[in-house]
Amino acid sequence: MPVRVFLTGAGPGDPELLTLKAWRVISAADVILHDSLVDPRIIALARKDAHCIDVGKRCGLHSATQSDINKLLVEYAQAGNIVVRLKGGDPMIFGRATEELQALQAHNIPYEVIPGITAATAAAASLGISLTQRKIARSVHFLTGHGAEDGLPAHDWVALTRAGGTLVIYMGRETVAGLAAHFIEAGMPPDMPAVAIENASLANEHVTHGTIGSLPRDVHDRGGKGPTLILVGEALENRKALKATIREAVLF
Ligand SMILES: C[S@@+](CC[C@H](N)C(=O)[O-])C[C@H]1O[C@@H](n2cnc3c(N)ncnc32)[C@H](O)[C@@H]1O
C-alpha cells in the first residue's frame, strides 16, 4: 500500500521555512488536517479542491479532541485519500505525534514523518544566538512549561539548573512566574539571562529580553497572545552584540 498519511512539520510560521518535501505533500494532499497555529499562507499552498480542516489543537491543550483527530486520520486514509497531518514546528517536538502514529499503526496505514523547523531553532536564528555556544552552553534542553491541569510540570529543577545548558521552554508563557521561582529556588542566579520570543520568524515577532528574575513581570506586562518561547541560559548574554551584525547582513 502506498504511503497515505504524511505527519508533516509546518515550521515556526514563515512559509519560506517549510521544507521542500512539506511543500510537495501539501500541494498534493486530498485532505489536510492542520493545527490552529499553522500560518494561513501555508494552508493556501494546498490544492483548491483539497479538504482543509482546522482540528483546532493549540499548545497541547484540548486533549479530549485527540481521539477525534486520530479517528479522522484513519478514516480519511482508509477512504483512499492522501492525508497531510500538518503541525506547527516539528511534529516530533511537543506535537502528540506518538498517539497519532500509534493509531495509524493499529490500522496498518503506512505513514511518513516529515520534519519541520522547530520554534527553538527559529528563535535561535532570530536572536542570533547559538544554543550550544562553545564553552558556555554544552547542552540544550527542550522543556514544556505546562503541566497537568494547567499547572507546572514536575521537572527536576535542580538538575536542570546544575546542567548549565540552554533551557528552551515551550508553552511556558502562562507559567513563567512559577518556572522562574522554581529555577531560582534551585540555585539559578536571578540575573541569569532570559528571553521571551513571541511569533518567532513572523513579521510580528516580538522579543522581551531580561533575566530569569525580571522576565515574569515583563512577559505579564506585555500581555502577548502569540505563541511564545522562553529561553534561559548564559548563551543568551550575547544577544545584543550579535543583533547589529545580523541587521547589517540582511540583503532583502
Ligand atoms: C504544542 S507546542 C508545539 C511545538 C512545535 N511542534 C515546534 O516544534 O515548534 C506549541 C508551543 O511552541 C512554541 N511555539 C510554536 N511556534 C512558535 C513561534 N513561532 N514563536 C515562538 N514560540 C513558538 C510556543 O511555546 C507554543 O506554545
* pLDDT tens-digit map of 184-217: 999 999 999 999 999 999 999 999 999 999 999 9
**The pLDDT value given to residue 63:** 41
Is 119-244 a CATH 3.30.950.10 domain? yes
Q: Where are the domains of the chain?
A: 5-114, 119-244
Give the residues across from 164 on adjacent strands. Answer: none
- The domain covering 5-114 belongs, at the CATH homologous superfamily level, to Tetrapyrrole methylase, N-terminal domain (3.40.1010.10)
- Report the length, in residues, of the chain: 252
Q: Name every protein residue with a CB atom under 6 angstroms from any ligand 1 atom.
A: 12-13, 37, 59-60, 87-90, 93-95, 118-119, 170-171, 197, 199-201, 227-229
- Give yes or no for a contact between 75 and 50, defined as CB atoms under 8 angstroms apart: no
Please, which residues have CB within 8 angstroms of residue 78's CB and are 6 or more apart in sequence? 107, 109
Dig out the grid coordinates for 181 from the structure: 521561582
* pLDDT tens-digit map of 155-170: 999 999 999 999 999 9
Dig out the grid coordinates for 105 from the structure: 499503526
For residue 146, pLDDT over 60 is answered with yes
* pLDDT tens-digit map of 86-137: 999 999 999 999 999 999 999 999 999 999 999 999 999 999 999 999 989 9
Distance of CA 2 from the midpoint of ligand 1 (Å):
31
**The pLDDT value given to residue 206:** 96
Dig out the grid coordinates for 27 from the structure: 500541494
Round to whole Å and give the CA distance between 15 and 103.
29
State if pTM tops 0.85.
yes
Give the residues across from 228 on adjacent strands. Answer: 198
